[in-house]
Each structure stands twice: as structure tokens, then as C-alpha cells.
Amino acid sequence: MASSVIVAPRCIVNARASTNQSVSGSPGNATVVFGSITVDTLGVFASNTFTTPRNGVYEIAATVRIQNNGATPGYFRVGAFVNGGNEKHLSVSLLAAGDIRSFSGSLIMSLNQGDALDIRLSNYGSGLACQIQSEGDITNILVKLL
């Protein structure tokens, strides 16, 4: 009789924003800055980029708290980018002028060793301006090896 081993997902990276970050332009596209790294068990998170240590299946979870500082409503999107392209959407929403909202999502992705992944905020509309907020631990990224 064959035995099975169940391996629990392993947290590789947990980081959070440590300062507010302004994003402007139409459209604007900015890499989310995670200034405080709380877990980096394999030394694979640097310059706001997670570099996969080996081929495997990963869970990528992120929350980004955004305030629309523009005078008009706009669409905002938080996505995971692999190797500078190949965007995978985490969350998309219309945000009224002055509103604050947390955008959260998670993905299960098969990645190759050396793939570089970052989280970006995109805004779409005329003259949009927003701020990624860092209060508490709300803006964060978590990476698990499954």
C-alpha cells in the first residue's frame, strides 16, 4: 500500500507598503512599492519583485488600498505581472472621486525558476490621480509555494 504525504503550503514572501505612493496620469501604471518585508525565507524578494526560486505552483495574494484623488470616477485595476508582461488580473473596480477602497485578489500560478513577478496598479480615465495607502498592513503581498 502506497503512502501519501500531504505538504502544507509554505509562505515564501510577505511584504507590506510602508509609505503612501502617488500614481497619476491617464492611463497610469505603477509598480506597488512594498517597503517593509516581514517574511522572505529564501531571499527572493527585492526591489518590489518576487523571483521564483524553482519551478512550481505558487499562490500570489495581494491587497492594495487606493484613494481616488481625481475629480472624476475612474477604473482601477490591480494585477500581477510576470516578466514585465503577461498580466493576471487580481481586482478591477470603478472608484468614485474621493473614495477609498481595498482591492484584493489571489491567483494560483505555475511559474518557472527565475520568473520575476510584481504587483501593479493601473488607472484608466481622464486626468486620474490616486494614492496607494500604507496604513496598517492593508497594502501587502503574500506568496506561498504550493
The residue among 16, 18, 56 whose CA lies nearest residue 39 is 16
Rounded to whole angstroms, the Cα distance separating 70 from 50 reads 31
Looking at domain 10-145, does it have CATH number 2.60.120.40?
yes
pLDDT band at residue 115, thresholds of 50, 70 and 90?
Answer: very high
**pLDDT of 61-111, one tens digit each?**
999 999 998 888 888 889 999 999 888 989 988 899 899 999 999 999 999
Q: Where do the structural domains in the chain lie, given as residue ranges?
A: 10-145
Q: What are phi and psi of 121, to 5 degrees?
A: -110, 130
- Tell me the residue length of the chain: 146
pTM, rounded to two decimals: 0.90
